[in-house]
Structure 1
Amino acid sequence: MILSRNWLDQHLNLKGIRNDEITQALNSLGFEVEKEIDWTSLNDPLVIGKVKSSQLIPETHLSLNYVDIGQKEPLQIVCGAPNVGTGQMVIIAQVGQKIANGLFLTNRQIRNYESQGMICALNEIGIEAKTLTDKENDSIYEIAPSHPSLIGKSIGEIGLHDYLWDMDLTLNRSDALAATQLLKELANYFHRKIKWRANDLLPTKGLVPPTVQIANGLKNDVETLATQTFELEAQAQAKKLTAQDDLLLKKIKVKTTDNFYEDLANLNSWETGQPLVLFDEARLKDKLTLQTITYNGKSVIALTDGAEVVTVLGLPTELAYSPTPATTRLGAIALNIKAPLMRKQQKDLNQNSTTLQRLMKPLNPNLYDYGFQNWSSLLKKYHLLLAVSPLNIVQQKYVKTTKQFRISLQKIQDFLGIQIDFETIKNLFEHLDSTVTLHKNNVLVFEMDPNRVDLFGTNDIIEEIARLYGYDNIPAEPLKIIPQVPPLNLKANLIEQTQEYLLGRGLMNVKTYALVNKTEAQEWNIFNLPTPLGLMAPLSQNHEIYRSSLIPSLIQVAQFNAANGIKKGQIWEVSDIYSGVDQRQKHLGLLVTGSLWDEPLVANKMENNFYYLKGLVETILDLYQLPKTKVKFVVADLAQKMIHPFVQAKILVDNQLMGYILRLNPLFEQQKKLHPTFVAELNLEALWKFSNHKITLNPQSKFQSSTRDLSIILSEKFNFQESLAMLTDNLKYLVNWKLIDIYRDEELINRHQQALTISFQFNSFDKQLTESEINEVWNELLSRAEKMGGQIR
């Protein structure tokens, strides 16, 4: 981003502020200045002259010109530019002067004509050739407007005595792609008031803004689309930018075009950060549609009028729709589209226009209002604007709201390590479209500039305070290290025990990439997370949002291993799953594939299976000391094409979802050359919620326990957990139980029954149980089994 002192001077009183002080201010505020250009030192003092007469020199491409620079006699200058003509106001380098391209002017004889100086082209006095059109590179510069009072004046009158700061913006400060954001920062730093360009309200005169249809395939990618119509004064001839505006664009490296409105829109985009698409409404024949089209073999986003292209986003408006001097109804569209899509557009078009630079960065999606207001003021500056239509908001995903944050003064002081007070903090935000108010208990409420889309939490606000206060003004003090006994963290200990258990069972720990594409995050949102967390400016659409499940990442690891000849494996990962800005859940993912062991010499082989993985999960549930009677494994119904439709189970605790155990779809396994593969995922945060948070020492009875086994045939309508709860609830002397077997043969399957074998252990802490006491409890258990309709085997 390049900033101009001349432009700053139009809006800010810079009297008494040196250029090096502005450089220091920008660096201090976090806008790293990479390069400074002092235009006053590029050339010797050049002046403005008027061509009084211009005649071609016979048999040459040269012309003989007499130029008035305010002296008694005009200068005689031989010029080879094709566009020099009588009446033009031009830039003159006189004999004895040196210009930016290194040329030293002497009195020369050209074709027997004395040349007493030079009529300058812009690429000769410091404007980069790549910023100019081919025509401008071959031509002398004609100053507009052509006013006699400029004759003999310094080129500073047209903005060529300037000072520029070229800054490297960090991604979080993309808002500073609007020069007005930097203006506010400097106004705030130097405590100066901003002189905004006047923008009085204009009548609508019944104007109707353009309507635009967004193609279905783009609706989710368009953050904002707004339109407005501007009624203009028809012009007899093409309007030109003033030399000040034209040269400002060229100095900040914005390539100008042959269209006045396109150039003015680029200036508006540089000032506000909001690109505009312009078109002559009288030339429209059909409905406007924002859609994806094929352009030069690439899929790009374009605005179309029926079957005709109005503009490809990032490129100038097509000539057939481009505004001209005769345009009286100017249509304008303000857009904000998801940044990754526009980065792809920039790559496909191989362009780096002012429009694309701003469309592909994370800017405030509601900039359209300010963009249109500033556009109106620029049109009025050129005496073109007659009326403005109402605003038409076609799509707006994010309603305009002021970001509000509540932070205690004590927290700010603790974080910064300084005793800063409320008034100081309030004054830090004076000119930044932000307010700070003091509430009860020394709580500060910050209402932040909506253009600051990089501010998400209270820590960001504290960092803003440090930035504005000045990092150098915060004293550096050595850390005070106070030895402390770390508090017992049972939650972390449980996760650590889980990891140690899995490692002990021979499972391999993996770490996978947390960012995925939006489609994967939506398809695998099996835990029904409310708000997926996306990046503000992802590098690609493949990694734009935080994953909603660990399972796809583990499957990718298995696929990679299989493709490299590793067909068996057991892997796990503990990682965070994000939902919203301030919410995250720690999840455990498990995957087993191929054989558990394979000993060919003794024909001993065991494949991974659903129940092996279920056993691992049950052991982990035991580590969390979950009440066994509240744990259920029930049939799931995930409609995921990668998952087996009939081998999937939900893990519930007290009817709350804790996780899943799933098998991959055999078709998917075959396609990816995987052996039968089973996956599981547990929400460790949810497990912690239901776990026993107290560390308890279970007493051990000194008396001999007694064990009895029960085999019972029950209806399938009872699952194991329900059956166990009905059998054992408040059963006297029962200290433990263990499931030995679940059996179903063809006969039981036909009768929709299953056979359970369960071992029950009885004991007392007070006495040795007698046979009769055990029989009494055992008969109670058998009675409960019969009431359930069970058949004792």
Structure 2
Amino acid sequence: MLVSYNWLKEFVDIDDLDVNDLAEKITRTGVEIADVAHPMAGLKKLVVGYVEECVAIEGTHLHKTLVDAGQDEKLQIVCGAPNVAAGEKVIVALHGARIAGGHKIKRGKIRGIESNGMICGLQEIGFNESVVPSEFVDGIYVFPADADVKPGEDVYEALGMDDYIFDFDITPNRADTLSMEGAAYEVGAIVDKPVKIEPVVLKEDGAAWTDSFSAEIDQKLAPKYYLRKFSGITVKPSPLWMQTRLWNAGIRPINNVVDITNYVMLLTGLPMHAYDARTFKDHQIGVRLAEKGEKFTLLSDKKIELDAQDIVITDGTKPVALAGVMGGLNSEIQPDTTDVYLEVGVFDPTLIRKAALRHANRTEASSRFEKGVNWDNLEKAENMAALLLRNEAGATVAQGILKAADQQKEPTVIKTTVSYINKVLGTEISADEMKRIFDRLNFESNFAGDELTVNVPARRWDLAIPADLVEEVGRLYGYDNIKSTQPLLAETHGGYSEAETKLRRVKSIVQGQGLMEAISYSLTSPEKAHAFVKEAKADAKIKMPLNSSRSVMRQNLLEGLLDAASYNFARKENELFLFEQGRTYDREGGEFHEHEHLAALYSGHVYADNWQHEDREVDFYFVKGQLEELFISLGIKGVSYRAEAISGMHLTRTAGIYLDGEYLGMIGMIAPSLTFLDKTLRGHEIYAYELDLDVLSKYQTQGTKAVPAPKFPAIERDLSILVSDNLTNEDVEKVIRENAGKYLTKLQVIDVYQGEHIESGKKSLAYNLTFRNDHDTLTDSVVSKAMETISEALIAKLGANIR
């Protein structure tokens, strides 16, 4: 909110305060002043001029003018503006003047014609084009004929440039300061000065009209909705004093009717809208939700398609305004408008915010409605606008206000104690001093010993609980006046918890394997949330998502790593070893749950480019080997793998990981059908695994221990068998280990073969077995006996043929 210092002085006596000191006081008390602007700063020698003569220069777009600028002699000035004409009062930059950007104006010649200054447009003296009245955007500024300005006078006061503009950078809870009255109450409390807010007294001089007009209002959408009628209006430019206040607040003047609604909005904080009465031929108005797909054209000439959650004002049938955001082109105030309906209301703030975002049309009105407005100020706003329309537009005020919806809010009464406020603040403020603070805020307060009751006015809808009163007392007492004390806390010891230590151990091992850590968003889409999980659970949904791709909490980490892979591939980074450790979220049994997960993603080559190394690409078995190393380092045993179908993964290159029969995670290749959907992922084989660390941590030990090198030699044996091709390596290894005895220290596959040299439905597996006795020399007879036992067990249990 841009707040005019000169306008503020009409409400609070602050003449004795330095502007910058006042800004500092306001900031220290709770509402940050982001900037203090002085529009005339850096400008000089800008005066009012009267154009006595204006002659077109043949063959050019230029004009030679003779201007009375209050000098001893009339000034000859060459001007290229299309709207310059004799009889106009204009802005003149004299010889030696400074205009916007620090540019200096000098005498000179243009097309050989002497020019002794410059006739200026508002943009040239520092005004933003967004606030310049439309008729002057492409030309010079012309003062209204009735403006009280004389040639030679400085232009700064007439244009409101002698003002100081405070930029109130408010937080959403302090929307009460989005009005001059609200800002005045705030400043008055800060500087301990009374606030002069006068009531509005209106005499209606027109005929009654409310009985001949009907309204159908959905009170869930608009709990309060007032309408007034005016006739005999003359649409014309607003008086200069009103225009200056509008453009100093960042609002472009339009015409007297529209400008009055904006002026009252700045004054009271209540957005208003004026409709040409010819729009309502059937003498009815409505407030409803739009029908999905309805087409509508806004005042800005922007065509939109309405959503089923947009609130619209209708003429009984078709929309005439997008409620709380912007009016429609079909109900715009025209130059020949004479009768007007003036609306002020309270609309559902959430729906207004969403509509403004949905249609990319955030306005001064929507920014106020979405934060909240003063429910008790509607009639005052209507009456204030009525007075101005009578004075500045010649309006006749019809008798009565149509209160189509008029829900009332219960007054806010907060009860607390003086001791509670002092305890929270760490102060010793007396009840009398607190009473003075609430008086400065214009709050009615009652003290009964330690008990305190405060009646909060409707203009401060941000206050509801005792903690809010603590803040009000604290900020007006002065944060700098509160003594600093050391907080009394229980002694805590440094170090990590057991759970954190386990997490860090896992991350340390994975980083040691050469993987780089990534961090991705916790918010995702439902489709991505359900990918890469064995059984998707109910989503943890976001109530007000920014967009559909960030509408639920993730149930896996891999989708984030896949996004990171896509980003890297698009930048020619094709060798990826990434991991993420983070939380996943789901809902089960009506409760929300969080789980610690670890995911890793691999693509590219095992080794970096080097002429000494083989060009080996990452595959399933390399990734599984990395995972096995992780389990060994964590002291995890009993891990098994089962071929499974998992969403988003390759059908034949994916396995579920189990630990003592409990599902731990999965490992495999990302499905080509998935990578094909993203052109940056096409052609890349991507392997990954994801583990549930909540499960893993239950089995995690302190890790591995170093042992001395063995003193006694080992004996190795090879074993080749022929088994049915539906048996897995795990099935075979289990039988071998169960029957090998206590001296088997290592077992590994050295060959797998299926083909034309063995019968169909069979496969050949070859193993290397290592035996060692750590306390004595192992004899060949012991190993031979163990091999016989193994062979017999394989034949008996698996139907194997020993080759």
TM category, shorter: 0.5 to 0.7
Q: Is the 8 A contact 1:35 1:166 kept in 2?
A: yes
Change (3 A) 1:272 1:213: same
Distance 1:233 1:325 in 2: 13
| 1:662-681 map, 5 Å | none
Unaligned runs of 5+ in 2: 296-303, 493-521, 523-541, 560-583, 594-639, 643-803
Instruction: Quote the offset at 1:346 in angstroms.
Output: 0.9
User: Hey, what does 2:174 align to over in structure 1?
Assistant: 173
Alpha-carbon displacement from aligned partner over 1:530-579 (angstroms, at most 9, x marks no partner): xxxxx9xx856999xxxxxxxxx99x989x99xxxx9x99868489xxxx
| 1:146-225 map, 5 Å | 146-147=146-147, 149-158=149-158, 159-196=160-197, 199-203=200-204, 205-209=206-210, 211=213, 213-214=215-216, 219-225=219-225
User: Hey, what does 1:465 align to over in structure 2?
Assistant: 473
Aligned residue type for 1:78: V
Distance 2:198 2:392 in 1: 13
Distance 1:273 1:4 in 2: 15
Distance 1:466 1:282 in 2: 54
User: Hey, what does 1:423 align to over in structure 2?
Assistant: 432
SS of alignment partner, residue 382 of structure 1: helix
Q: Does 2:255 match 1:251?
A: no
SS of alignment partner, residue 39 of structure 1: coil
Aligned residue type for 2:70: G
Q: Is the 8 A contact 1:232 1:327 kept in 2?
A: no
User: Hey, what does 2:22 align to over in structure 1?
Assistant: 22
Distance 2:482 2:391 in 1: 45
| 1:611-630 map, 5 Å | none
Instruction: Quote the offset at 1:155 in angstroms.
Output: 1.9
Q: Does 2:294 match 1:298?
A: no
Aligned length: 505
Q: Does 2:390 match 1:342?
A: no
Change (3 A) 1:197 1:145: farther
Alignment RMSD (CA, Å): 3.7
Distance 1:24 1:246 in 2: 29
Change (3 A) 1:360 1:9: same
Q: TM-score, normalised to structure 2's length?
A: 0.57
Alpha-carbon displacement from aligned partner over 1:197-238 (angstroms, at most 9, x marks no partner): 6732213543324856446xx542323222222x35543xx4
Distance 1:226 1:18 in 2: 41
Distance 1:148 1:255 in 2: 21
Q: Which of the pair has more CA radius of gyration?
A: 2
User: Hey, what does 2:260 align to over in structure 1?
Assistant: 264
Alpha-carbon displacement from aligned partner over 1:44-100 (angstroms, at most 9, x marks no partner): 242222222323222222222222222232222211111222232221111111111
Distance 1:280 1:248 in 2: 25
Change (3 A) 1:85 1:569: closer
Alpha-carbon displacement from aligned partner over 1:3-54 (angstroms, at most 9, x marks no partner): 1112213333321211112211220221112222122313124222222232
Instruction: Quote the offset at 1:314 in angstroms.
Output: 5.4
Alpha-carbon displacement from aligned partner over 1:508-530 (angstroms, at most 9, x marks no partner): xxxxx9xxxxxxxxxxxxxxxxx
User: Hey, what does 1:228 align to over in structure 2?
Assistant: 228
Aligned residue type for 1:463: E
Q: Is the 8 A contact 1:131 1:254 kept in 2?
A: yes
Distance 1:224 1:59 in 2: 61
Single out whichever of 443-452 and 198-207 deviates more from structure 2.
Answer: 198-207
Aligned residue type for 1:290: V
User: Hey, what does 2:742 align to over in structure 1?
Assistant: none
| 1:481-500 map, 5 Å | none
| 1:293-692 map, 5 Å | 293=291, 294-295=294-295, 296-299=304-307, 300-313=310-323, 317-318=327-328, 320-324=330-334, 327-382=337-392, 384-397=394-407, 399-439=408-448, 441-480=449-488, 539=544, 573=591
Instruction: Quote the offset at 1:349 in angstroms.
Output: 2.6
Q: Does 2:5 match 1:5?
A: yes
Distance 2:457 2:35 in 1: 28
Q: Is the 8 A contact 1:340 1:360 kept in 2?
A: yes
Alpha-carbon displacement from aligned partner over 1:121-174 (angstroms, at most 9, x marks no partner): 111111112344664321211223534553322223221112112232111112
Instruction: Quote the offset at 1:351 in angstroms.
Output: 1.7
Change (3 A) 1:193 1:570: closer
Q: TM-score, normalised to structure 1's length?
A: 0.58
| 1:88-127 map, 5 Å | 88-127=88-127
User: Hey, what does 1:613 align to over in structure 2?
Assistant: none
SS of alignment partner, residue 96 of structure 2: coil
Instruction: Quote the offset at 1:392 in angstroms.
Output: 2.6
Change (3 A) 1:185 1:27: same
Distance 1:325 1:134 in 2: 14
Change (3 A) 1:207 1:148: same
Instruction: Quote the offset at 1:406 in angstroms.
Output: 1.5
SS of alignment partner, residue 40 of structure 2: helix
Q: Is the 8 A contact 1:275 1:334 kept in 2?
A: yes
| 1:12-91 map, 5 Å | 12-91=12-91
Distance 1:472 1:288 in 2: 54
Change (3 A) 1:53 1:450: same
Alpha-carbon displacement from aligned partner over 1:451-473 (angstroms, at most 9, x marks no partner): 22221211111111112212112
Instruction: Quote the offset at 1:353 in angstroms.
Output: 2.1
Q: Is the 8 A contact 1:202 1:386 kept in 2?
A: no
User: Hey, what does 1:664 align to over in structure 2?
Assistant: none
SS of alignment partner, residue 279 of structure 1: strand
Alpha-carbon displacement from aligned partner over 1:470-516 (angstroms, at most 9, x marks no partner): 211211122345899xxxxxxxxxxxxxxxxxxxxxxxxxxxx9xxx
User: Hey, what does 2:280 align to over in structure 1?
Assistant: 284
Instruction: Quote the offset at 1:381 in angstroms.
Output: 4.9
Instruction: Quote the offset at 1:367 in angstroms.
Output: 3.6
Instruction: Quote the offset at 1:272 in angstroms.
Output: 1.5
Q: Is the 8 A contact 1:127 1:251 kept in 2?
A: no
Instruction: Quote the offset at 1:358 in angstroms.
Output: 1.7
Change (3 A) 1:569 1:244: closer
Aligned residue type for 1:271: L
Distance 1:425 1:386 in 2: 48
Alpha-carbon displacement from aligned partner over 1:730-783 (angstroms, at most 9, x marks no partner): xxxxxxxxxxxxxxxxxxxxxxxxxxxxxxxxxxxxxxxxxxxxxxxxxxxxxx
Alpha-carbon displacement from aligned partner over 1:391-446 (angstroms, at most 9, x marks no partner): 3322234x14431112222222222222212232222233534211223x332211
Distance 2:2 2:587 in 1: 55
Change (3 A) 1:429 1:330: farther
Distance 1:85 1:315 in 2: 39
Q: Is the 8 A contact 1:51 1:65 kept in 2?
A: yes
Q: Is the 8 A contact 1:228 1:331 kept in 2?
A: yes
Distance 2:591 2:314 in 1: 49
Change (3 A) 1:318 1:408: closer
Instruction: Quote the offset at 1:255 in angstroms.
Output: 3.1
Distance 1:275 1:570 in 2: 45
SS of alignment partner, residue 97 of structure 1: strand
Distance 1:46 1:58 in 2: 29
Instruction: Quote the offset at 1:109 in angstroms.
Output: 1.2
Distance 1:410 1:270 in 2: 39
SS of alignment partner, residue 49 of structure 2: strand
Change (3 A) 1:359 1:461: same
Alpha-carbon displacement from aligned partner over 1:350-377 (angstroms, at most 9, x marks no partner): 2232222222223334442232233234
Distance 1:118 1:569 in 2: 71
